[in-house]
Chain A
């Protein structure tokens, strides 16, 4: 079996009994053994995965890799942090429960930035994940293990999570499809919180079809997450994937993003080709401005850090997780456990969050950010009165080298420019491979109005099928 097969192909081989579920499992377990010491995408490959015995579920026998901040019952969920090193999830996340019910299973845990905070997976307390296309480069982040494992043909699909672009950016850097859904389309129950008003579980796969296949099984209302959309019907997201785009489709290029300073010229050329290709498929192209997007990263920094400070206050060394042995009283226990358990990036974000929420500063920072967030959301909604989908780069550059932003963390944070505004507006977006610059994959980003996943996937699929980017993989991983 070709490990780079898409789920559609594997599923057909399973259905016609050309291959067994156990054989599929073995193929990917062997792939991890053979290649993952070089890539480092997985924190753990289960020796005893919960492989379904029999199922008529649509994902029967298809293994996935789950980001380490998503709870899998009886498994460690460490968020790639020392503070949760030994934390065993007492329940399945709703999305995990759902893919299991559809016959799929998890083969292990994907490495990520600590508590999903980062754009390169370098903040993981455990290991680096390397970009399968060039081991000297980062896979992106925070869902670096998610994207790298799929790109390397170690797994057919993988769950990541998004707060400001953490699925789309690594998907673009690694040359796979990355989907961020409408806020609330997939339940957040069991996704360990970073910034709850922005967080969502996302999917990486080799093709748009595969992404749609997995998505179809994991959406829907959830009594355990009151922010999960309650009016969502179960949809087969593959039904619209005809290879054609909807007649009369209008796509708006976000002009200020497309012409933003600092976009790599190679990336720009590849994206220009992408626009032409969409036009060739029948889309009408027009330019749209989302002026407040230029402040999107700043808004994102304020809101995400504020929510993180609040969410991460629960890690105190008392009930679970890491406890420091230093200190004498309870306050020492809190302060030392957190000092020794959290990495630098997480500490930095918690402190920023507490600062911007503190009396005397909340108006200037947090509340201002909430107002600009609302302005931005409104600009996006206005844009969708004129066009069906929006278009812009996923990243300004190809995957960068390790340590590139070591001395300038703010520049690293600005990786979020093209992605975070979408989380702030709660919109769905997809990153699709659209070419290469110097041997590194590039992603283009399509964005839709709330709950437009069908249209988004249909359009991305039509583009994908007109090209062969999704069939490419690094030679050494054959």
Chain B
């Protein structure tokens, strides 16, 4: 889900660290269940504005690409051959 490859060693370490955090946070459910919070925060509002066109130099952005061909980003093949 996180799109991060991990080794078995790393997985073991992460599992115990993550379990510790989740267990620390497990009390929240109980508190939330008995809480009476009245809906959404009233202080939130949408801030709207007209769109303004601003141009970036596309080359500046493309220059950061790890691999490119002309004005396109290059990635490895997406479909695996069987």
Contact = CB atoms under 8 A, between A and B. Distances in A.
Given A292-B31, A369-B25, A348 B18 contact: yes
A337 to B, nearest CB: 8
A299 B73 contact: no
Contact of A313 (B3, B33, B47): B3
Contact of B31 (A295, A309, A320): A295
Contacts of B57: 90
A344 to B, nearest CB: 8
Interface in B15-69: 17-18, 20-22, 24-29, 31-33, 35, 37, 41, 46-47, 49, 52, 56-57, 60-61, 63-67
A408 B12 CA distance: 15
A335 B3 contact: yes
Nearest to B6: A339
A227 B79 CA distance: 40
Interface string A376-417: 011000000000000000000000000000000110010000
Contact of B66 (A323, A351, A358, A413): A323
Contacts of B77: 328-330
Contacts of A369: 25, 28, 32
B61 A90 contact: yes
A223 B52 contact: yes
B18 A352 contact: yes
Contact of A301 (B24, B41, B79): B24
Given A369-B25, A409-B17, A321 B66 contact: yes
A354 B41 CA distance: 25
Interface in A184-233: 223, 226-227, 230
Contacts of B24: 297-298, 301, 410
Contacts of B46: 226
B4 A351 contact: yes
Interface stretch (A19-27, A142-150, A360-368, A436-444): A360-368
Contacts of B47: 226-227, 230
Contacts of B75: 318, 330, 333
Contacts of B32: 367-369, 371-372
A301 B35 contact: no
A348 B46 CA distance: 33
Contacts of A295: 27-28, 31
A320 B37 contact: no
Given A329-B77, A347-B14, A374-B41, A298 B27 contact: yes
A352 B61 contact: no
A322 B66 contact: yes
Q: Which of B49, B66, B79 lies at the interface centre, i.e. has the most chain A CB atoms within 10 A of its CB?
A: B66
Nearest to A338: B4
A323 B22 contact: no
B25 A298 contact: yes
B14 A319 contact: no
Contacts of B3: 313, 316, 331, 334-335, 338
Contact of B64 (A87, A327, A330): A87
B64 A319 contact: yes
A462 interface: no
B66 A317 contact: yes
A329 B82 CA distance: 13
A126 interface: no
B78 to A, nearest CB: 5
A368 B31 contact: yes
A330 B76 contact: yes
B17 A374 contact: no
Contacts of B10: 344, 347
Contact of A329 (B52, B61, B80): B80
A361 to B, nearest CB: 9
A372 B6 contact: no
B73 A319 contact: yes
A355 interface: yes
A289 B14 CA distance: 36
Contacts of B67: 323
Contacts of B1: 354, 358
Contact of B2 (A301, A344, A351): A351
A377 B35 CA distance: 13
A400 B25 CA distance: 25
Interface in A122-144: none
7 A-B pairs with least C-beta separation: A323-B66, A368-B32, A320-B64, A371-B32, A335-B5, A339-B5, A368-B28
30 contacts: A87-B64, A90-B61, A90-B64, A295-B27, A299-B25, A301-B25, A318-B66, A319-B64, A319-B65, A329-B77, A329-B80, A330-B75, A330-B78, A333-B76, A335-B3, A338-B2, A338-B3, A339-B5, A347-B2, A347-B4, A347-B6, A347-B10, A350-B2, A351-B2, A351-B14, A354-B2, A364-B26, A368-B28, A369-B32, A377-B41
Given A319-B65, A321-B64, 9 more contacts: A301-B24, A318-B73, A319-B64, A329-B78, A330-B78, A339-B4, A351-B4, A352-B22, A368-B31
